[in-house]
Amino acid sequence: MTDRTFSILKPDATARNLTGKINAVIEEAGLRIVAQRRIRMSRAQAEKFYEVHSERPFYGELVDFMTSGPVVVQVLKGEGAVARYREVMGATNPAQAADGTIRKLFAVSMGENSVHGSDSDENARIEIAQFFDEADIVG
């Protein structure tokens, strides 16, 4: 099991100046931010990142949204990081997210849901490699 996961603070979060508040929730949950970069995702990057959803009706909207403003890409480290971060994020739909989770606290809707986190160790490795060189990860 890897102790890393990949995280994105999405454009709805950067637009509302929430990166510090979200990072505080991440750190209070015991996850360490071992790499972080603020970027504007290109359309090609977003299309590749969300390729698994390319047949879904919301794919176009998702790519439009993820390229609509700055995002913060991160590598988080901690024991069971993938599962732990999914707990901390809360359900994809903020209406179903538990109290105290990032999406309950900050998300606007299912699409504008403030954060992304990897759903498996394998995807964590693939997603981290899309945005970071190993030398950029300092933990």
CB of 4 to ligand CMP, least distance (A): 17
Three-state SS annotation for the chain: CCCEEEEEECHHHHHCCCHHHHHHHHHHCCCEEEEEEEECCCHHHHHHHCHHHCCCCCHHHHHHHHCCCCEEEEEEECCCHHHHHHHHHCCCCHHHCCCCCHHHHHCCCCCCCCEEECCCHHHHHHHHHHHCCHHHCCC
Interaction between residue 111 and ligand CMP (CB under 6 A)? yes
Interaction between residue 92 and ligand CMP (CB under 6 A)? yes
By beta-carbon proximity to ligand CMP, the closer residue of 121 and 135 is 121
Catalytic sites, residue numbers: 116
Interaction between residue 110 and ligand CMP (CB under 6 A)? yes
The footprint of ligand CMP on residues 29-88 (CB under 6 A) is 53, 58, 61-62
Residues contributing to the site for ligand CMP (CB under 6 A):
53, 58, 61-62, 92, 110-111, 113, 116
